[in-house]
């Protein structure tokens, strides 16, 4: 009996050992289809491959499934600008903010800057804070009384959820950079890869930025999750890895300003006009690409609300100026319930679930303005404003951070681009419109107000007539200027399936049996 028990124990021990060493019941490791070696196996090289996963939706964003649409003019060009000639383009899938950036969001940004770059400690820090503050003087006008808005619009809690204005394109661009870093730092803290940080301890160049962290220029204290044996990230030797790489699928792409084509596409919300596609492969929406609607709402082209949804005819679908001297309607029945701006979640969202893509405030987009970009730009992801950059490296070949903690970047030179086939210049803002080959010139301040600093804004505002509410209309302003009618929202690139999360990519068929 003792011999029998001994044999049972011995066989159990052998079985357990075989499991630990990749035996019969060990979890099967994923293999490379090009070498046959195991991934994530310290005994076969230790090449780490993260499990395929869908991209997480960042805070405040909604998914916009890409597609083709007619960009540009959808009604008579009453302004005679000839700057939005219709053209069909394709927009890749992306994410965009559900709402415009509100005062409370921008105040959070200013708060963080003030804590990290203490203006009392350094004169240069004060310059950083001053450069980020919105210009509240945009509310002033020679023949109106707007001083209360100058003093209180940005600061009073009654305006917390109203869109921030007085922000230049450059300030909006910097806000997107800051937001990217705060979101990714929060993700690392939530997952335990970075110890909870105190912004009091992050001064100037020592503050977290995503790029400096990935390059190893920012040394974060590892959190409990990174030191745990359950940490899914491993070194080639199989020990827990404390630093996260972008290949791990944990960090998010950067927030940025939406491109003009993206903004216009998201504003129309055409997906609302197609039958909802099924999650099952083969069940797709119809390709209804013939709509030429004028405004972001499609079911009520006259702009009045549908009584089926519990509202009444006569209430507007956007915050705009109905006519001369009529910015709100009559007391007791204000047609848009706003004199100036309205809260960022006012009115119905469109087909993509995005609010106020018409009216309230116009919005900055990324693009540099040129009248005929619609004709020149690529069919897919059209944009003007590219200035190709690369990481700056010192004499030792190492990357560096500046006084704000950001990785130093420098422009790609024409000499570096000369032998390429897909581009030959580093700065292509003027490509085909303003360069020597185009024979076009813009005498800024003499014959035109167009320059390389002219940025497009879209969507119409609380002080605009209905014409400007059409997503196809476009205007421009210098990137260092601001207005009481212009705000912004952020966007983010989409990684993976263009149809969204939990969907396959491409068309799939069962593998056919080979015949000899």
| Mean pLDDT, contiguous 10-residue spans, the chain (516 residues) | 56 53 58 92 89 90 94 86 92 97 98 91 91 98 96 97 98 98 94 80 78 90 86 88 92 97 94 62 57 71 49 70 87 84 92 93 98 93 96 94 93 94 94 87 86 96 94 96 98 92 59 61
pTM: 0.89
Contact between 197 and 384 (Cβ < 8 Å): no
pLDDT in tens, 34-45: 999 999 898 888
Please give the helix or strand (H or E) that residue 478 lies within, else none: strand 475-478
Long-range contacts of 219-226 (CB under 8 A, 24+ apart): 220/188, 220/194, 220/195, 221/194, 221/195, 222/193, 222/194, 222/195, 223/188, 223/189, 223/191, 223/192, 223/193, 223/194, 223/195, 223/196, 224/192, 224/195, 225/191, 225/192, 225/193, 226/192, 226/193, 226/194
Residue 329 lies in a domain: yes
Residue 342 lies in a domain: yes
Give helix 103-116 / helix 123-132 axis angle, nearest 10°.
170
Residue 335 lies in a domain: yes
Please tell me the total count of domains within the chain. Answer: 1
pLDDT of the residue at 191: 92
Q: Please report, in angstroms and rounded to a whole number, the separation of the first and last CA atoms in the chain.
A: 58
**Planar angle of CA 8, 14, 17, nearest 5 degrees:** 140
pLDDT of the residue at 301: 44
Residue 504 lies in a domain: no
Residue 166 lies in a domain: yes
Give the span between the Cα atoms of 55 and 95, in whole angstroms.
11
**Residue span of the structural domain in which 78 resides:** 61-191+250-382+443-493
Residue 399 lies in a domain: no
- For 369-453, list the strands marked E by DSSP: 389-391, 409-411
Tell me, what CATH number does 154's domain have? 3.90.1580.10
Give the span between the Cα atoms of 208 and 407, in whole angstroms.
11
Residue 256 lies in a domain: yes
Residue 154 lies in a domain: yes
């Amino acid at each position: 009996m003792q011999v029998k028990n001994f044999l049972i124990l011995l066989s159990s021990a052998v079985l357990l050992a075989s499991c630990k060493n990749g035996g019969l019941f060990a979890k099967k490791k994923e293999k490379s289809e090009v070498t046959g070696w195991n991934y994530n196996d310290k005994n076969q090289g230790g090449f780490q491959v993260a499990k395929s996963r869908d991209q997480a939706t960042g805070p405040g964003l909604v998914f916009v499934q890409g597609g083709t649409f007619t960009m540009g003019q959808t009604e008579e060009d009453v302004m005679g600008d000839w700057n939005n000639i219709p053209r069909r383009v394709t927009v890749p899938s992306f994410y965009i903010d559900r709402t415009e950036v509100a005062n409370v969001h921008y105040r959070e940004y200013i708060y963080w800057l003030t804590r990290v770059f203490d203006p009392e400690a350094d004169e240069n820090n004060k310059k950083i804070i001053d450069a980020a503050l919105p210009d509240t003087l945009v509310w002033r006008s020679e023949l109106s009384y707007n001083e209360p808005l100058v003093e209180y619009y940005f600061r009073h809690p009654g305006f917390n959820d109203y869109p921030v204005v007085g922000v230049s394109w450059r300030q909006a661009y910097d806000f997107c950079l800051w937001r990217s870093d705060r979101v990714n730092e929060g993700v690392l803290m939530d997952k335990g890869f970075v110890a909870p940080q105190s912004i009091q301890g992050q001064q100037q160049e020592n503050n977290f930025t995503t790029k400096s962290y990935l390059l190893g220029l920012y040394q974060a204290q590892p959190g409990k999750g990174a030191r745990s044996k359950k940490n899914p990230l491993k070194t080639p030797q199989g020990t827990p890895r404390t630093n996260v790489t972008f290949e791990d699928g944990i960090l998010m792409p950067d927030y940025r300003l939406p491109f003009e084509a993206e903004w216009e596409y998201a504003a129309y919300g055409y997906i609302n006009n197609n039958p909802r596609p099924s999650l099952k492969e083969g069940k797709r929406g119809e390709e209804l690409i013939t709509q030429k609607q004028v405004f972001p709402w499609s079911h009520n082209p006259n702009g009045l609300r549908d009584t089926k949804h519990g509202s009444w005819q006569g209430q507007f679908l956007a915050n705009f100026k109905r006519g001369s001297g009529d910015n709100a309607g009559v007391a007791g029945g204000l047609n848009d319930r706003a004199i100036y701006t309205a809260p960022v979640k006012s009115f119905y969202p469109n087909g993509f679930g995005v609010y106020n893509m018409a009216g309230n405030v116009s919005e900055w987009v990324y693009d540099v303005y040129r009248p005929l970009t619609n004709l020149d730009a690529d069919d897919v992801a059209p944009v003007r404003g590219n200035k190709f950059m690369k990481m700056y490296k010192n004499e030792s070949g190492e990357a560096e951070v500046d006084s704000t903690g950001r990785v130093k970047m420098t422009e790609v030179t024409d000499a570096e681009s000369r032998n390429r086939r897909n581009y030959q210049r580093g700065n292509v803002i003027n490509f085909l419109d303003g360069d020597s080959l185009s024979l076009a010139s813009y005498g800024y301040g003499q014959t035109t107000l167009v320059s390389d600093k002219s940025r497009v804004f879209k969507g119409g505002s609380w002080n605009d007539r209905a014409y400007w509410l059409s997503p196809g209309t476009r205007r421009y302003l210098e990137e260092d200027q601001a207005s009481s009618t212009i705000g912004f929202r952020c966007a983010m690139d989409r990684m993976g399936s263009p149809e969204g999360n939990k969907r396959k990519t491409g068309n799939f068929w069962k593998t056919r049996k080979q015949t000899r």
